[in-house]
Amino acid sequence: MDNHARKEVVRRFNKEVIEEGSRASFEALMHTGFINHSAPTGAANDAESMWNTFQHILRPALSDLHVQIHDQLCEGEKVSTRKSITGKHTGTLLGIAPTGKSISIDIIDIVHIQDGRYLGHWGINTLPSVLAQLRDS
């Protein structure tokens, strides 16, 4: 698998899984040994916990959810992506009642792609500052 194909796996995941909520695509793109290295200490770090983040936290809270990929770099089996997840805060988000505000969560992540599937994930994001802004509104 070349660098272009690895980047395409990540683009597909962002579009089909995060943006569209496709369980079939999620199943097709996740390696059985997947580990989310960015999961909070003591929290589950498997594939299902990643699905739950999108399906039970982000997607219900954000209408018009959209993922925009700004940059991607690939070296070896790892793809780094700088992206934004945007949407309108129309559902409860981690205990914060809907505000109707448009929000943008900026993310930089690294995904280990093996055999065309997500094997590992590391990431940082601006969700904590977005939540702080929503609490202050």
Other Cβ atoms within 10 Å of 29 Cβ, number: 21
Q: pLDDT tens-digit profile of 73-89? A: 999 999 999 999 999 99
Domains of the chain, first to last: 3-136 (3.10.450.50)
Q: Evaluate if residue 137 carries a pLDDT over 80.
A: no
Average pLDDT for 126-131: 96
Cα distance between residue 59 and residue 31, in whole Å: 23
Instruction: Answer yes or no: are the C-beta atoms of 96 and 131 closer than 8 Å.
Output: yes
Query: β-pairing, 62-75 with 117-125?
Result: unpaired
Question: What's residue 40's pLDDT?
Answer: 86
Position 61 pLDDT exceeds 90:
yes
> In angstroms, how far apart are the furthest CA atoms of the chain?
47
Element (DSSP H or E) covering residue 135 = helix 127-136
Supply the pTM of this predicted model: 0.94
**pLDDT tens for residues 3-46?**
999 999 999 999 999 999 999 999 999 999 999 999 888 999 99
